[in-house]
Amino acid sequence: MVLLVLANVMGVAAGEALIRKVGTTLVVKSMNTELIKGIARKIGSRMMDRAAERVTGRWIPMITAPLFGYFSRSLTGRIGREAIRLFSSELEVEQTVAG
C-alpha cells in the first residue's frame, strides 16, 4: 500500500492499475515480488530525477554568475577604452542650420 501511495504521488502509472474503488471499499490487487521491485525502481528513478533537477537548479547560478561577471568586466573595459580613445582627441561641434 505504501508503494502504491508513493507511486501515485510520484506519477508512476502502476498505482492506478492495481487499485479500484467499489462503492466505499478500496479493492487492491495482490502483487508479486517482481512487480513490487519494478514499481520501487520506477519510484526511485523519479526521486533521483527530481533530486538531480534541484541540485542542477541550485548550481547553475553559482557557475554562471562568475561568467557573467567576467563578461561584464570585459565589456566595461572595452567601453572605457573606446570612450578614452574617442574623447582624447579634439572635438568640434558643427552647428546645424535651422530650416
User: Which amino acid is located at 73 in the chain?
Assistant: R
What is the maximum alpha-carbon separation in the chain?
94
42-63 pLDDT, tens digit each: 888 888 888 888 888 888 888 8
Rounded CA-CA distance 26/47 in Å is: 27
Element spanning 77, H or E: helix 33-87
Q: Where are the chain's structural domains?
A: 2-84
11-31 pLDDT, tens digit each: 766 666 667 777 777 777 777
Rounded CA-CA distance 5/13 in Å is: 11
Cell numbers standing for residue 39: 514499481
Chain centre distance of CA 19? 33
